[in-house]
């Protein structure tokens, strides 16, 4: 019987990780710790939240006293840490929130794990989920390796880089059994519609303009969220202690090409004449410090642990569009904030 703490489990990627762990490992007790910020939505887990091995804890990782108390009481065997402020644009307007949650929150969790495990680290693991954005921006060629020097440009990526350094420091200084992964852009069901793909699906559906930053020439490497969750499962169980693994989709898209593909799929599914929604494209002022290109070299994960993405982009993209079209209520709820009602109904406060 293992007790695993997953932080940020009500968010986009976290909810897929909680589902995978709670269903694949019925003998684990899964604790989902989430503050339920605007991005945390318990409806994401409504299919598994009655499972007897699933437990929800509402709380803030920035609150050290609360975190220490929780670890003292529950004595987790492992931590999968996803809770974060995750949107670059919000980090530009409000960087402090990113420093509190992403840096201070991570160090609070490291301290709490270190205190309860007290140098007897046998069978314990602290897994920190991070992003490829810590490596900075690439030119037209090359890809990020685990050895690429950190060069973050946004307050978001700087806060994630800082938290990665603290995780490594706790491994090197205190011997804490840590592991880190840095993943490329995820897409799929349950992503908050402030990120490119769900935002543009929602806007196309409602005939609203599509704000393309700059010239739309920035490149991202897109991975289906369930493939990321599978990689997290593998690294949590088999990754080498103290190690870092890059995770990527080997699937680079220039923003404008991805947007045109999305328009093609949606016009077809919405029964609009081909190309109708192209007129919604609106070029707007570029994001400050906008990284030109991200690309991941995931050779280490493939050769050491045998991981490969399983969902082809054409299939994953269609599935994603279908999910947002079929889950209109989910979209409306997260955009109106009324999913808070769901929380009150489920947990009574």
Q: What are the catalytic residues?
A: 132-133, 156
Q: How many CB atoms lie within 10 A of CB 215?
A: 11
Q: Quote the least distance from Cβ 38 to ligand TYD, whole Å.
A: 15
158 with 221: CB under 8 angstroms? no
What one-character-per-residue DSSP string does 165-226 give? HHHHHHHHHH---EEEEEE-EEESTT--TTSHHHHHHHHHHTT--EEEETTS--EEEEEEHH
Compare residues 171 and 195 and give the one whose CB is closer to ligand TYD: 195
Residue 192 is a binding residue for ligand NAD (CB under 6 A): yes
Burial state string for 300-320 with b = 16 or more CB within 10 A and e = fewer than 16: bbeeeeebebebebeebbeeb
Q: Quote the least distance from Cβ 211 to ligand TYD, whole Å.
A: 4
Residue 177 is a binding residue for ligand NAD (CB under 6 A): no
From the list ligand TYD, ligand NAD, none, pick the one residue 212 interacts with, judged by a Cβ distance below 5 to 8 Å according to partner type.
ligand TYD
Q: What is the pairing mode between strands 185-187 and 54-58?
A: unpaired
Q: In whole angstroms, give the CA distance from residue 56 to residue 166.
A: 27
Tell me how far CA of residue 85 lies from CA of 12, 52, 137, 194, 312, in angstroms: 12, 29, 20, 13, 28
290 with 214: CB under 8 angstroms? yes
How many Å is the maximal CA-CA distance in the chain? Answer: 64
The count of chain residues that interact with ligand NAD, using the rule CB under 6 A, is: 30
* Binding piece for ligand TYD, criterion CB under 6 A, among 33-41, 139-147, 207-215, 321-329: 207-215
From the list ligand TYD, ligand NAD, none, pick the one residue 48 interacts with, judged by a Cβ distance below 5 to 8 Å according to partner type.
none
- Going residue by residue from 48 to 87, which x/- string records binding to ligand NAD, judged by CB under 6 A? ------------xxx-------------------xxxxx-
Q: In whole angstroms, give the CA distance from residue 42 to residue 59.
A: 14
Residue 230 is a binding residue for ligand NAD (CB under 6 A): no
Residue 130 is a binding residue for ligand TYD (CB under 6 A): no
Residue 159 is a binding residue for ligand NAD (CB under 6 A): no
Residue 99 is a binding residue for ligand NAD (CB under 6 A): no
Q: How many CB atoms lie within 10 A of CB 292?
A: 13
Residue 91 is a binding residue for ligand NAD (CB under 6 A): no
Selected binder of ligand TYD within 20, 64, 137, 199 (CB under 6 A): 199
Q: How many residues appear in the chain?
A: 349
* Binding piece for ligand NAD, criterion CB under 6 A, among 7-15, 119-127, 204-212, 339-347: 7-15
* Binding piece for ligand NAD, criterion CB under 6 A, among 178-186, 201-209, 210-218, 274-282: 178-186
Residue 213 is a binding residue for ligand TYD (CB under 6 A): yes
Q: In whole angstroms, give the CA distance from residue 112 to residue 104.
A: 12
Residue 203 is a binding residue for ligand TYD (CB under 6 A): no
* Binding piece for ligand TYD, criterion CB under 6 A, among 21-29, 120-128, 194-202, 305-313: 194-202
Residue 129 is a binding residue for ligand NAD (CB under 6 A): yes
Backbone phi and psi for residue 254, each to the nearest 5 degrees, phi listed first: -70, 135
Q: Note the residues at the interface with ligand NAD (CB under 6 A).
A: 7-8, 10-14, 34-37, 39-40, 60-62, 82-86, 101, 105, 129, 131, 160, 183, 185-186, 192
């Amino acid at each position: 019987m293992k007790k695993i703490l997953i932080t940020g489990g009500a968010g986009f990627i976290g909810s897929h990780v909680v589902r995978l762990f709670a269903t694949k490992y019925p003998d684990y007790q899964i604790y989902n710790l989430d503050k339920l910020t605007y991005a945390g939505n318990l409806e994401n887990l409504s299919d598994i939240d009655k499972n007897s091995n699933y437990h929800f804890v509402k709380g803030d990782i920035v609150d050290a006293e609360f975190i220490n108390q929780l670890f003292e009481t529950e004595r987790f065997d492992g931590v999968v840490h996803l809770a974060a402020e995750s949107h670059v644009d919000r980090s530009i307007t409000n960087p402090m929130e990113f420093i509190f949650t992403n840096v201070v929150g991570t160090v609070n969790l490291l301290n709490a794990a270190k205190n309860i495990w007290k140098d007897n680290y046998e069978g314990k693991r602290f897994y920190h989920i991070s992003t490829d954005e810590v490596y900075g921006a690439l030119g037209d060629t090359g890809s990020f390796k685990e050895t690429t020097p950190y060069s973050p440009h946004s307050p978001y990526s700087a806060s994630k880089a800082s938290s990665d350094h603290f995780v490594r420091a706790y491994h090197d200084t205190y011997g804490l059994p840590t592991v880190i992964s840095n993943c490329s852009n995820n897409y799929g069901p349950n992503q908050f519609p402030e990120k490119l793909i769900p935002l543009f699906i929602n806007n196309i559906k409602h005939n609203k303009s599509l704000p393309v930053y700059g010239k739309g020439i920035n490149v991202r490497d897109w991975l289906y969220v369930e493939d990321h969750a599978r990689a997290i499962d593998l690294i949590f169980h088999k990754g080498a202690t103290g190690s870092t693994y890059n995770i990527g989709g080997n699937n680079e898209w220039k923003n404008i090409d991805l947007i045109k593909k999305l328009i093609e799929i949606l016009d077809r599914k919405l029964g609009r004449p081909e190309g109708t929604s192209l007129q919604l494209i609106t070029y707007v002022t570029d994001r400050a410090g906008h990284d030109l290109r991200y690309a991941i070299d995931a050779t280490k994960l493939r050769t050491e642990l045998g991981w490969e993405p399983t969902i082809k982009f054409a299939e994953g993209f269609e599935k994603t569009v279908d999910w947002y079209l079929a889950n209109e209520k989910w979209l409306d709820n997260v955009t109106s904030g009324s999913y808070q009602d769901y929380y009150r109904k489920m947990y009574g406060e």
